[in-house]
């Protein structure tokens, strides 16, 4: 974590708990860069899509209370919505409704700053063509979870946060959690930032009306651990509803949770992203391990994964006694140019790359995209010159022949075969 702070620029709070014992509980970097206020385990972060698991839980609670059924069709609650007689609440929960994701709408970020009524937002969502026939495929949709929150408010006649607080937060002591509002003075609130390589800027402003039940909650690592503990028993949901909460449909997606495994350790998890914040909440149920990473600097590693995902996976591997690549500053060294010829060739691990030599330098070559220089940091290890923190490491035998090549990306290494 010190390397993530100093090398990658991570700022946020981290909690690692195993069998209800603290392995790591600490804040890193600044909650407010302008006032030099540091992050702590009590700092409040925007959660983004971690909100969805609370919305899903509320839908299942309302089902227990006899106020709805997940098999109900959308037209029961939003008459006139296109194809609503073909969409069930269960489809909304599992992202199989086909309703297009509003954050992917053309021009969405032009209206994301506007505070609109929920009826207006439902109308905007309803006007966009479905991605596919309801129930036939999976496609992540913030729109679906927005509609679920809209339905919760319609059924209960109260704000969504009131239902969350009365039925979840207050029951398990999550007193540092709520729906974010910009007109509210919120003690210990982290400020959100955007990282573009080494440049840090204030995050893009977005109206909290849009994230709503799909992503508007704030919380702390401590409160989220209380949530983790509650999910092991029936203090919130019945056994039957809890089973439904964790049962995936398509693409390993359950109700606000992803169900998979990491290095053969079963995992229930989700991540979140909202301007200025990335989050990750993972539960390894057979290991009684909970890892929570909340960040107030949006850092996307290699344009593929949020830094919080990479960190959470790395922390889990440390607990499991597995190797982890620790980030470090790469420094170019001078090596014998004659060594370069032996590294030239094609390598594959599903994806094929070619190492070529030009002007006494190595390059990563793939058809259709620009070549990237590979700079030596040792006689056998090269780093990509595009600041992406990717490396190629060649493993040689006693005679100097290549045994294998390692591709290192997002603090993980994978073996590639020479073709």
DSSP string, 154-174: HHHSS-HHHHHIIIIIHHHT-
Phi, psi of 271 (to 5 degrees): -125, 175
Residue 329 lies in a domain: no
Looking at 160-211, list the stretches that DSSP marks H as alpha helix, in order from N- to C-terminal side.
160-164, 170-172
Phi, psi of 151 (to 5 degrees): -70, -40
Helices H / strands E in the chain, number of each: 13, 24
For residues 350 and 288, membership in a common domain is answered with no
Phi, psi of 396 (to 5 degrees): -110, 155
SS3 content of the chain, % helix, strand, coil (to 5): 30, 30, 40
Looking at residue 301, its pLDDT comes to 60
Indicate the helix (H) or strand (E) that contains 240: helix 239-245
The residue segments making up the domain with residue 374 are 337-418
Looking at residue 198, its pLDDT comes to 77
For residues 158 and 252, membership in a common domain is answered with yes
Residue 112 lies in a domain: yes
Q: How far apart are the C-alpha atoms of 143 and 161, rounded to whole Å?
A: 18
Mind listing the pLDDT tens digit for each residue in 197-250?
A: 778 999 999 999 999 999 999 999 999 999 999 999 999 999 999 999 999 999
Query: Does the predicted model carry a pTM greater than 0.85?
Result: yes
In total, the chain counts a number of residues equal to: 419
Coil vs helix vs strand at 108: helix
For residues 24 and 132, membership in a common domain is answered with yes
CA atoms within 13 A on the CB side of 167: 21
Q: How far apart are the C-alpha atoms of 195 and 5, rounded to whole Å?
A: 13
Residue 16 lies in a domain: yes
- Which residues, listed in sequence order, are joined to residue 325 by a DSSP beta bridge? none
For residues 268 and 408, membership in a common domain is answered with no
For residues 95 and 212, membership in a common domain is answered with yes
Looking at residue 302, its pLDDT comes to 63
Q: How far apart are the C-alpha atoms of 116 and 146, rounded to whole Å?
A: 13
How many separate domains does the chain show?
A: 2
Look up residue 57 and give its two tokens. 């839980």
CATH number at residue 386: 2.40.128
Burial class (CB in 10 A: 0-12, 13-18, 19+), 153: middle
| Of 141, 348, 382, 337, residue with least CA distance to 256 | 141
Q: Can you say whether the dihedral through the CA atoms of 69, 74, 76, 78 is positive or negative?
A: positive
For residues 39 and 70, membership in a common domain is answered with yes
For residues 399 and 280, membership in a common domain is answered with no
For residues 72 and 150, membership in a common domain is answered with yes
For residues 139 and 276, membership in a common domain is answered with yes
Residue 332 lies in a domain: no
| Bridging pattern class, strands 193-196 and 297-298 | parallel
Q: Write b or e for each residue in 138-148: b if 16 or more Cβ atoms lie within 10 A of its Cβ, otherwise e.
A: bbebbbbbbbb
Tens-digit pLDDT string for the chain (419 aa): 999 999 999 999 999 999 999 999 999 999 999 999 999 999 999 999 999 999 999 999 999 999 999 999 999 999 999 999 999 999 999 999 999 999 999 999 889 999 999 999 999 999 999 999 999 999 999 999 999 999 999 999 999 999 999 999 999 999 999 999 999 999 999 999 998 877 899 999 999 999 999 999 999 999 999 999 999 999 999 999 999 999 999 999 999 999 999 999 999 999 999 999 999 999 999 999 999 999 999 987 666 788 999 999 999 999 999 989 898 999 999 999 889 999 999 999 888 899 999 999 999 999 889 999 999 999 999 999 988 889 999 999 988 889 889 999 888 889 999 88
Cβ distance 407 to 390 under 8 Å?
A: yes
Looking at residue 255, its pLDDT comes to 98
- What is the DSSP code string of 115-146? ---HHHHHHHHHTSPPSSSTTSS----HHHHH
For residues 342 and 314, membership in a common domain is answered with no
CATH number at residue 201: 3.40.710.10
CA angle 87-231-320, nearest 5°?
Answer: 110
Which of 287, 319, 351 marks a domain boundary?
319
For residues 66 and 186, membership in a common domain is answered with yes
For residues 87 and 152, membership in a common domain is answered with yes
Residue 326 lies in a domain: no
């Amino acid at each position: 974590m010190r390397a993530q702070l100093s090398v990658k620029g991570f700022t946020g709070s981290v909690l690692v708990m195993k069998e209800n014992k603290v392995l790591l509980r600490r804040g890193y970097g600044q909650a407010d860069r302008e006032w030099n206020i540091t992050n702590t385990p009590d700092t409040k972060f925007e959660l983004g899509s971690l909100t969805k698991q609370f919305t899903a839980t509320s839908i299942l609670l309302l089902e227990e209370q006899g106020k709805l059924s997940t098999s109900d069709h959308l037209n029961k609650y939003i008459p006139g919505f296109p194809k609503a007689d073909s969409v069930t609440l269960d489809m909304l929960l599992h992202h199989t409704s086909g309703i297009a994701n509003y954050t992917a709408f053309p021009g969405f970020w032009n209206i994301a700053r506007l505070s609109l009524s929920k009826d207006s937002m439902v109308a905007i969502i309803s006007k966009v063509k479905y991605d596919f026939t309801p129930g036939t495929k999976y496609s992540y949709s913030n729109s679906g979870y927005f509609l679920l929150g809209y339905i919760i408010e319609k059924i209960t006649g109260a704000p969504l946060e009131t239902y969350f607080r009365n039925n979840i937060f207050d029951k398990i002591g999550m007193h540092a959690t709520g729906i974010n509002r910009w007109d509210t003075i919120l003690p210990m609130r982290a400020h959100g930032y955007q990282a573009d390589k080494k440049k840090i800027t204030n995050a893009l402003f977005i109206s909290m009306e849009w994230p709503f039940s799909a992503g508007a909650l704030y919380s702390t690592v401590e409160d989220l651990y209380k949530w983790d503990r509650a999910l092991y028993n029936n203090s919130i949901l019945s056994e039957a509803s809890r089973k439904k909460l964790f049962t995936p449909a398509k693409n390993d997606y359950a109700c606000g949770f992803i169900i998979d495994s990491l290095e053969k350790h079963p995992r229930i998890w989700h991540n979140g992203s909202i301007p200025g914040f990335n989050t990750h909440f993972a539960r390894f149920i057979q290991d009684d391990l909970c890892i929570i990473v909340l960040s107030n600097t949006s850092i996307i590693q290699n344009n593929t994964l949020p830094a919080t995902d990479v960190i959470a996976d790395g922390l889990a591997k440390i607990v499991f006694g597995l190797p982890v690549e620790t980030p470090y500053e790469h420094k170019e060294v001078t090596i014998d140019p004659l060594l370069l010829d032996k590294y030239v060739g094609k390598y594959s691990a599903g994806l094929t790359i070619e190492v070529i030599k030009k002007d006494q330098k190595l390059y990563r070559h793939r058809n259709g995209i620009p070549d990237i220089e590979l700079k030596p940091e040792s006689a056998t290890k090269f780093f990509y010159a595009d600041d992406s923190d990717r490396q190629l490491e060649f493993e040689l035998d006693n005679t100097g022949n290549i045994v294998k090549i390692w591709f290192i990306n997002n603090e993980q290494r994978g073996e590639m075969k020479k073709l």
